[in-house]
Amino acid sequence: MGRKILLIILYLYALIFSVLKTIRFPSDWSESHWMLDYRFGFIKRGLGGEIFGLLFEKNPHTIFIFSAGVLLLLYALLFGIAIKETFKRENDFHRILFFLIFFLSQYIVFSAHLIGYLDHIVILLTILTVYLIKNKKVFLSSLIATICIFIHEISFFLLLPISCFALILTEIPVDKFSFKAIFSKNVLTKLILFLVFPFCAILSVTIFQEKNEEIHFTKIFNYLWQTCIVSEGVADSVASAYTRSFTYYFSEEKGYFIQRLFISTCTIFNGIPILFSLWMIFKEFRLKKNIQLFLLLAIVAFIPLLLHAIAFDTYRIWAFPFIILFLGFWIISSKMDIPKEKPQKLSLLEIVFFVISFLMITLIPNHLFDKEIERISLLGRLVIVLPIFLILYFLRKPRTIG
């Protein structure tokens, strides 16, 4: 069997395994976000539901079809990017293991579990924004980023940092990158051009939330509970999420920030695979020669973890660095020409690092929402992961070129 076919099977197998662990119908929480719009006046996160209502009838059936389509499109894009990037250097195991860990990661697991939620739209628009930036369409990318802020304010932590990273590498050759170069007139001008509209958007949303915290709560609660077939608890939770100010959430959650970041189970079970992914990027792109670029990527990847200061969904937040590193890999790869030389071999320590990371993300169950549990038993997982090692064994011998 050809090496390319094996790689496609490897990634597809890992993706399907991760999705099957948690895939479900959209939850009441997810459905509620698509039911809300600007009918009661301006609210944060209202743009997605407003656009959805213009295109479709709002009911659980259309929300499910739309949500499934969005998730499939997201997976298709991620899979396509991974395959394209892998085929550039299909003999390089650092590249292969990076994408394998990604498709097995908590990000894919939670993306299936949170089907229908606005996170997926944010990531799709982030991919589009990065693509536009790579093609030097800065103004258009800024408009997309601004729209994304009004769909979900989490874009401030997910879309903007990695988009700025893409913009910086578009303006500065990778081999000439330095923190000092970021402050050149050309780069700063492009960054300001890109950020001015999104920052105005996030500022307007923030100010509105601070001044109008309770105005829409009753209207949203009654609308969701009486007309949208969701429970009273979900209606109350969603109404609070849409109307509480950012300072309120910060005052409620800031005390848990250090614990969630440094001494939670996610610090180990997510943190080690994330560090492995960072190390694969470091080795793949020979970033020992450019430590500053590596440090910038690490900072961008960990920015989403700042959400711990304003949000309590720890496990979901810890999944975000995986997708940011995926996009970071894509960006660096598109801007860096790696010499066609004999691939670097994995060291014994790297193999051990991989096995530990692999076992953590495949065998240890994730804490899911709505009191759900992953549907594959430990024994079932042990059996399912065996073909992955078998495929890696067949891939161990590089394909001869020429």
Mean pLDDT value across residues 102-129: 97
User: Comparing C-alpha atoms, which of 266, 222, 229 is closest to residue 366?
Assistant: 266
* 262 CB-contact burial (10 Å; exposed 0-12 / middle 13-18 / buried 19+): exposed
Q: Which residues contact 178 (CB under 8 A, 6 or more apart)?
A: 292
User: Comparing C-alpha atoms, which of 70, 72, 66, 42 is closest to residue 54?
Assistant: 66
CA-to-CA distance for 53 and 51, rounded, in angstroms?
5
Tens digits of residue pLDDT in 59-85: 899 999 999 999 999 999 999 999 999
**Would the pLDDT of 182 be above 90?**
yes
Q: How far is CA 117 from the centre of its chain?
A: 13
**Would the pLDDT of 341 be above 60?**
yes
Of the candidate ranges 182-186, 325-329, 340-344, the one whose mean pLDDT is the lowest? 340-344
**Across all residues in the chain, what is the average pLDDT?**
92
In DSSP terms, 41 is beta-bridged to: 39
CA atoms within 13 A on the CB side of 128: 18
Tens digits of residue pLDDT in 269-295: 999 999 999 999 999 999 998 999 999
Mean pLDDT value across residues 161-185: 94
Count of positions (residues) in the chain: 402
Backbone angles phi, psi at 369, to 5 degrees: -85, 165
User: Comparing C-alpha atoms, which of 382, 350, 341, 352 is closest to residue 364?
Assistant: 382
List Cα–Cα distances, 214 to 235, 245, 291, 376, in angstroms: 15, 9, 48, 43
In DSSP terms, 39 is beta-bridged to: 41
Tens digits of residue pLDDT in 119-150: 999 999 999 999 999 999 999 999 999 999 99
Contacts of 307-313 spanning 24+ positions with Cβ under 8 A: 307/154, 307/157, 308/253, 308/256, 308/257, 308/260, 308/261, 309/250, 309/253, 309/254, 309/257, 310/246, 310/249, 310/250, 310/253, 310/254, 311/249, 311/253, 312/253, 312/256, 313/369
CA-to-CA distance for 73 and 102, rounded, in angstroms?
17
User: Comparing C-alpha atoms, which of 211, 208, 216 is closest to residue 239?
Assistant: 216
Q: Are 305 and 318 in contact (CB under 8 A)?
A: yes
Q: Where are the domains of the chain?
A: 3-395
pTM of the model: 0.95
List Cα–Cα distances, 326 to 72, 272, 332, 386, in angstroms: 18, 16, 10, 25
How is residue 39 annotated by DSSP? Answer: B
Amino acid at 97: L
Sign of the Cα torsion 206, 45, 150, 372 reads: positive
